Structure 1
Amino acid sequence: MPNREYPYYFMKLGTLYYVYHLYKNVKKKEVSGYEFTNDKSLAFPVDEVSAKQLADECGGHIVMKNATFNDYISQGERWSHFIDSKRKNIWKIYIIN
């Protein structure tokens, strides 16, 4: 079934799409860093539960996309190449708890 479509999700904040996050402890406070891009083709594809969790943390919303398995793999490869590059066009948002 090479043409069968499956759902996957993006987390969107305004016109920006989630690409990466990290957690740090700074002066006994947890700091969450989130990176976003305005290029949907570079967004990180996630499962529905992860997308909802990210949207709750950042105040964004989830976007569902149906695509073939090969399309999903291509999305992940574009994201991976983007992360490995110099990360141009990334917006960073930090949340301090």
Structure 2
Amino acid sequence: MDKNTYWYYFLNLGKMYYAGGTDTNYQGERHTTFEFVNGNSFAYPFSDRDIAQQFADECGGNLVTVKGTFDEFVAQGKRWGKYIEEVRKK
């Protein structure tokens, strides 16, 4: 197990956390939808601070910095992946 410090980021908007987004093209116009969840358990873990900040700027949210291990980051990504897979099935 990797015990080294690893930084990753969540996008927070009030009491909600970013869980993903999709781009669609409807009647010739590009639309972006964002999915948010109540807690960070299923939030998307950003590994790149600059990209996370771009999303935060676009959504009007803040970054939450998490200090953990790489294994914790991977576990978060797996939880998020299972969640978003279920959302997209609907």
Q: TM-score, normalised by structure 1?
A: 0.81
Q: What are the equivalent positions in structure 2 for 1:13-28 lying under 5 Å apart?
A: 13-28=13-28
> Gaps (5+ residues) in structure 2?
none
- Matched residues, number: 87
The code of the aligned residue for 1:8 comes to Y
Aligned mates of 1:70, 1:28 — CA distance in 2: 42
Q: Which amino acid aligns with 2:68?
A: A
Q: Which runs of 4+ in 1 moved over 4 A?
A: none
* Structure-1 residue corresponding to 2:50: 49
| 1:68 aligned residue | 69
| AA of the residue aligned to 1:57 | E
Is the helix fraction higher in 1 or 2?
A: 2
Greater strand share, structure number: 1
How many percent of aligned residue pairs carry the same amino acid?
39
Compute the RMSD of aligned alpha carbons.
1.6
